[in-house]
Amino acid sequence: MSPLTVLIVCVIYLLPTSYSETECKGGPITKRLREMLEKEVQRKFPTLTYNCEMEKRADEAANSTGKEQSEQTIMDYKQRGNLNMKKAIKSWDKEKIGDKTKFGCTLKGGEEYKIVCAFE
């Protein structure tokens, strides 16, 4: 195999495991947390792409009483103590996602942790 072929194979192999470069300026969560949430959500829902507008909507939903929600699908998970992000996302129903193509998430702390993601 030529060096170029090896390089192309390596890039194709590593591409799905690399972190995204999604950077939401002024977003409610850090880049590292965004990368972790994106990786875990895409593990269960591989066709979705991260979107900064959806991150803002997730943050609005996390701060609302639930009455102001619009057409996007909101999924959340609450837990006291240590938060298990993988367990939270695994608990979400694939059928609710349907043909959605983008998502964004936020995390809230306090007496309990809360992961909220918006899908559209």
The residue type at 93: D
CB neighbourhood size of 64 (10 A)? 12
CB neighbourhood size of 94 (10 A)? 8
Tens of pLDDT along 16-68? 444 455 789 888 999 999 999 999 999 999 999 999 999 999 999 998 865 55
Tens of pLDDT along 70-117? 567 888 888 888 888 899 999 998 898 989 999 999 999 888 899 999
The pair of three-digit structure tokens given for residue 101, joined into one six-digit string: 């193509």
List, in order of start, the domains of the chain with CATH numbers.
Answer: 31-119 (3.40.33.10)
